[in-house]
Structures are given as structure tokens and as C-alpha cells.
Structure 1
């Protein structure tokens, strides 16, 4: 019979009252008489004793009573090697199903192993909860600057009513509709641009806080600022390069349509510009996700702009859809939280403005300074809460990808002072 773990040859089973390594009897006994020396060699049965011991009773080993002590480990099976202990509670050989793997060390907000989606989101929230003074202080500073720029642009520069009037007019010409779409795209693009800059700056400033939270180390606002300040010029260059790359690719798709419109075919040119922009927007989205980890790489690795972008591209390679999905989920949750905060302020601003809520709903984009200021205050509060979520997801994704690719958890465990840590027992996340 083939020897497998837990099985042995029946012929090697000991009889009752004997152990496997006990020496056998050296002299004949009454129960085991020997065959006579002149036995017939042609009759094999003559060599066996007439009195045989009872057959061995094979059964599962009895479970010992619970004495409160840990039972000794089972002896190694010949030919199968030794199973080292696999965790607390006497779990041996967890790969064979005798219990789960040992839990990963968790000195901070995340366990030091590849992370799942829920652990990344929970880590972002846990960082904000554990270091709320530093996190909310930095986020508030970025939110105030960002929303002040937005309010000034909407009140002084952007004409948001110019686009909606033509779009709401059923008798508008193709040229008027084209100009209205241009106004709307320009206004939306400027606001998205400011929001992207604020998110990148918040991610860079909070990278140090989140990385310290991973190993359970506190950090003050002054320490985070002193750590980020030397990289300030490189951060500005990185933000400018990413924005030029993203919006440049998107605008390049509209160039053929613009040329056709200038040649005299306004309607076909407008349609071609819209289709071209939609096509290149997909490429721009791919680039945004590809270089989305460049900001934490710049701040935590103290690299240059080009090196940080190449590091992000290397970490995202082969995991684009995962990075995109987690960041999209994080942005969705952040926007829901922001809407809960911003909507009441928007309704209050509409009620206190000249036309009231009904006038705001009918006039649409006819905003006044009262409306812009009150709604801007709500946007500051919303951004102060949502910046840590978006930034936390991005930085923890960077750390997670480095754990998966470069075993960063070993360095983090040493930095946290975890003794005897090994990543061999880590369980990958989803």
C-alpha cells in the first residue's frame, strides 16, 4: 500500500501491549510456539503457530480529555518532513488545513501584508480618526485656498449663465449651441483643474502623516510641513506636468473638429470636436491612473519628478484596473460625504440670496456673491473631510503596491519595532 500521511502498512502495526520500538521476544513462549525444525518445507502452514493473537482493532485515536494544557505536537511522519509550528494555539501545518495562517502584525492603521479594498478604505478613515488634529488641520488649509480660488473664479471670471441660456433655448442656432458647449466645457474644466490641484497638494502633504500612521508613529502638523517643504518645488513641477499631460491629450482630440469648424462647417466641426475629445479623454484617464501614485512616491521616496512618474508607472503596471477601481470607489464615497455637507449649505445660500430657493431653481446659474460665499463655506467643510479619504486611499494604494512588489512590509515592520516579523505567513488581499 502506498504510504501517505496518516496511513501505515497494516503489517507494521504493533500488537496489544507492545510499542513500535519495543524489542521482540528472544525465546519461544507458550502463546507463540515455534515450528519444529523438521517441519515439512512443502507445507508453509506448518511454520505458523496454532495460537495467534487477536487481530488488531483499527480505530481513530481517542480525543484526550481537556486538561487545560496544550497537547504536544504530533510526531513527524516518516518521509514527510517536519511541520514547524504555524501560529498561536498549537496550529501546525496551516497549509494542510490545521488552522489559518498567523495574523499579520498591525502596529498602525493597517496590517503589514497585501491589503484588501476594505482595509484600504478603513485605513484611510482610521488615519483621520487617530490623527485628526494633523489631518484635518492640513486638509482645512488646502480646502480654504482651493475654495477661495473657486469662488473668485466663479464670481469674477467665469460666466456660467452664458452657456445655460443657449442650451435652454429650443430655437438656438448651431453656432449658439456650439459656443454654449464651449463655455460649459471651459467652466467645468477650470473647476476640475482647481479640484485636481487641491487633491494632489493634499495627498502630498498627508503622505507623511499616513506613512507614520501605518507604523503607529504620531506626527504633528509642524513635522509634516517640515518633511514636505523641501519637496515643494518638485511637487509644483509634478502637478504642472500632470495637468499639461492630461488636458493636453484631451484637447488634442478636439483640434481636428476645431479646424473643420474654422473652415466653414460649424456643425460637423462641433460634432467632430466632441467625438475627438471623448476619444482622447479615455487616453487621458489611462494616464491619470498610471501616474496617480507619483505624488506619494515623490514625497516619501524623495525622488525627482521623472523618477516619481516612472515609479508610479512601474507600481501600477499590471494592476491598472485594480488601482482605478479602488480610487473610483474612494472618490465615490468622498463625493457622497461631500454632498451630505454641501447640499444643506447650498439650499441655505439659495434661501438667503435675492431670488430665494424658487428663484435659484428657475434661474439656474444666476449666482450672487451671497450664494457663492455661503456655498463656498460648505465646500470648505466638505473638502476638509473628503481630502483625507481621497489622499488616504492613494497613499495606502502606493504602500500596498510596494508591499506586493517589493516586500515593503519588512521595512515597515523594522521601522515599527516588530520583533521576529516575517512576510512568509502573510495572506494576500483581494
Structure 2
């Protein structure tokens, strides 16, 4: 595997859109051993939680789509709940992804084992705010287009906690502030990243399920289970990639608008990473 060191993952300078997307993929590739298993557990739990709702609404695999007009309202509720769970998963994965990105930026690579250790990771604060993200996205999704606003503004929640070390109550405002800087650049790029990975996830899930069906590899009565496993697999990669994009976007926005690169270049040698990347609480 080619070396994905700190310069390749996140250069200490503003990045183009293509470089941001590439950096997120490099970050995921470098820490796949930690991020993908965690994402896989979350993605599988998501499928299990959504199964009774999908059954009640009457949607069918592999796309869980095309409800009847009579079930349109329950179907929209199903979409909103799915969006809320999805946002919470991405936030939880954003904690280790942000710490991995921070380590790459300061030139102190972190192993997968270290990344999963709870010490200093601020998991408590992350878990505390996770329901806040879920409820916000649920309400935003129920209102339709406001989902775009909610998703665009909440990407920096986990990085603000894990890297900026802000107090939990300040993290939502910090996330919104960073997302809206430079004419909403980070907000727009988070939506772009989601769209790219949504297309990939839908295409892969539909293609895999259709291919297995065409080869007659799905026994009668197993279509739902196979679809759940397929979606869990593609979402595992998608959610981890989106968490990495959030981490890269967060640090790049700080470099672009707060002079984080200058601060790091002037920092004394040997300063702790938490001190180097923290902001005033």
C-alpha cells in the first residue's frame, strides 16, 4: 500500500475541492483498520433498527422505495428516522476520524489501536451531543428541504469536540460558524460529499443485489436479509468516508480562516497535539 503520511493526507495549506475529497479517501485508507469495523457495527445496527419500520411501511428491497400513496406519510417518517440515524453514525465516526486527521496534520501518525483507545478522546461529550444531532436531523428531515440545511451545518460537531476541545454546549455553534465561513464553503462541500457517496452507495447496493438475483444466489425468503447486509456493507464505507471528509473539511477550514497552519509552524517542538489544535473554550 502506498504511504499515506501526513503530507499526503492533509497538507498544511488551503485545498481544492478535488484535493479535499482525495484527502478524505487517503485518511480512510490509512485508518481503515479502526474506522471500518466501527462503521460496520453502526451500519448493521442501523439496518436492524430500520427493519420493523420498513416492514410496517411496506417497502421492498433492495432500494426500500416506491411506497403506495396510502403509505406516503409513514414512508416520509421512515426517511426522516433514517436520516437521523445516519447523521448520528457519521458524528460518532467523526470522533476517531478527526483525531486521525489531527495527528496527520501535526505529523504524528497514530495507530489504529491508539485511535480506538478512549483516553482523551472525549467520547463522553460526543455521546452526549449525538442525540442532539439526531433530533435536529429528524425535525429537519420532517420539514423536507431543511434536511439540506441541517446536514450542511452539523459536520464539525465531532471535530470541534475531539480537536478544538470546546465545551459540549459550544460545539453546535462552533460547527455552524465554521460551516458558514467563506460563503458557506464547508457547508456546500459537505453536501457535495454526501451526494457523491449517496450515488455510489445506491449504485453499489442496487448493483450487488441485482447481480446476486440474476445469478439466482438469493434463496426465497432471504431477499430482505441479503439487502440488509448489502446496504450495511456499502454504508460502512460511505459513513466512514463522510466522517473523514468532515474531519478534513474542519481542519482545512481552520487553516483557511483561522491560520491554523501558521499557528502550527510557530508552535514549540514537542507540544501536545491537544494543545496545538485546541481553541479557546
The TM-score range, normalised by the shorter chain, is 0.7 to 0.9
Alignment of 1:176-255 (within 5 A): 177=69, 179-226=70-117, 230-249=121-140, 251=142
Question: Are the structure 2 counterparts of residues 181 and 140 from structure 1 closer, same or farther at C-alpha, using a change threshold of 3 Å?
Answer: same
CA contact (8 A) 1:228 1:299 kept: no
Alignment RMSD, CA only? 3.0
TM-score by length of 1: 0.53
* Structure 1 residue aligned with 2:258: 406
Specify every segment of 5 or more residues in structure 2 that has no aligned partner in the other structure, as ranges. 1-5, 270-281
* Structure 1 residue aligned with 2:25: 125
- How far apart, CA to CA, are the structure 2 residues paired with 1:225 and 1:166? 40
CA contact (8 A) 1:124 1:396 kept: yes
- How far apart, CA to CA, are the structure 1 residues paired with 2:176 and 2:81? 27
Offset, 1:156: 7.3
- How far apart, CA to CA, are the structure 2 residues paired with 1:401 and 1:237? 25
Question: Are the structure 2 counterparts of residues 286 and 109 from structure 1 closer, same or farther at C-alpha, using a change threshold of 3 Å?
Answer: same
- How far apart, CA to CA, are the structure 1 residues paired with 2:73 and 2:20? 39
The reply to whether residue 392 of structure 1 matches residue 244 of structure 2 is yes
Please give the per-residue CA displacement for 1:353-375, whole angstroms capped at 9, x wherever unaligned. 42xxxxxxxxxxxxx4x223222
* Structure 1 residue aligned with 2:14: 114
Question: Are the structure 2 counterparts of residues 159 and 125 from structure 1 closer, same or farther at C-alpha, using a change threshold of 3 Å?
Answer: same
The reply to whether residue 145 of structure 1 matches residue 42 of structure 2 is yes
TM-score by length of 2: 0.77
For residue 159 of structure 1, the aligned residue among 56, 78, 81 is 56
Q: Which has the higher contact order (CA 8 A, sep 6+)?
A: 2
For residue 159 of structure 2, the aligned residue among 296, 299, 303 is 296
Specify every segment of 5 or more residues in structure 1 that has no aligned partner in the other structure, as ranges. 1-105, 168-176, 252-276, 355-367, 418-430
Alignment of 1:277-426 (within 5 A): 277-278=143-144, 281-282=145-146, 284-319=147-182, 321-347=184-210, 350=213, 351=216, 352-354=218-220, 368=221, 370-413=222-265
1:385 alignment partner, SS class: helix
2:108 alignment partner, SS class: coil
Offset, 1:410: 2.3
Offset, 1:119: 1.5
CA contact (8 A) 1:293 1:395 kept: yes
- How far apart, CA to CA, are the structure 1 residues paired with 2:194 and 2:119? 24
